[in-house]
A = this chain, B = another copy of it.
Amino acid sequence: MKKIAVIVAGGAGSRMGATIPKQFLLLQNKPILWHTINAFTQTFTDIEIIIVLPEMHIEEGKSIADTFKTSHKITCIQGGLTRFDSVKNGLTQITEDCIVFVHDGVRCLLSSDLINNCYHQAKAKGSAIPAVAATDSIRLVEGNTSHIADRNKVRLVQTPQTFKSNILLEAFKQPYQDSFTDEANVVEAFGKEVHLIEGDYNNIKITRPLDLIIAEKILEERK
């Protein structure tokens, strides 16, 4: 089945204390976004990539895309104000049935195993949302108090959130709600159950300076 990855790279990077948005920071001399794209193109020779970027960084995205072989179609398009708007803009490029991976641009350590697993599970079940169990105790806050949550029932959600295109495109026709912080929530609000699969603890989001150091170590260990 055709495969398309929508990579959301819209962040402004303020938490990194850097003026460059974090998707362009260098990791082993290549931009974080390069590593993210590379994970998908290394997994599937026939995958198409749509990168959603802030307007002022589209040219930068294009020059990263140009370093990949022309066998992979890579398009850079402009994002919106919210993640929902950005993904929706990305989805406008999809015109045929496929499996869509929606992925955070700054989760550059995702493995081919995880991408493959997402693909097969989404193809079989309509969706595949990678998630990992919490290693800490969890509490749920209600007003000024909190109560215990069963740690075994809590999952920390990652990306690529992967769907059959028909489900995802229909779900994204809904009007925006504040709860639409990820694609699983959009699809769930549309009345479709989402299917969780086992994520990967190394599939971290680069949000703090320390995460870049962790990412360097994970890449070194893979060699």
| 0/1 interface trace, chain A 183-202, chain B, CB 8 Å (1 if under) | 01100100001101000011
Known: A213-B217, A217-B210, A217-B213. A136 touches B148 (CB 8 A): no
A56 CB-CB contact with B under 8 Å:
no
- Bound-state Cα–Cα, A146 to B158, Å: 14
> Are A185 and B137 closer than 8 Å at their CB atoms?
yes
Interface of A is mostly: mixed
> Are A134 and B156 closer than 8 Å at their CB atoms?
yes
Number of A residues near B (Cβ < 8 Å) is 45
A88 CB-CB contact with B under 8 Å:
no
> Are B158 and A196 closer than 8 Å at their CB atoms?
no
A179 CB-CB contact with B under 8 Å:
yes
> Are A148 and B208 closer than 8 Å at their CB atoms?
no
B residues near A145, Cβ cutoff 8 Å: 193
A69 CB-CB contact with B under 8 Å:
no
B residues near A157, Cβ cutoff 8 Å: 136-139
B residues near A179, Cβ cutoff 8 Å: 148, 150
- Bound-state Cα–Cα, A85 to B141, Å: 28
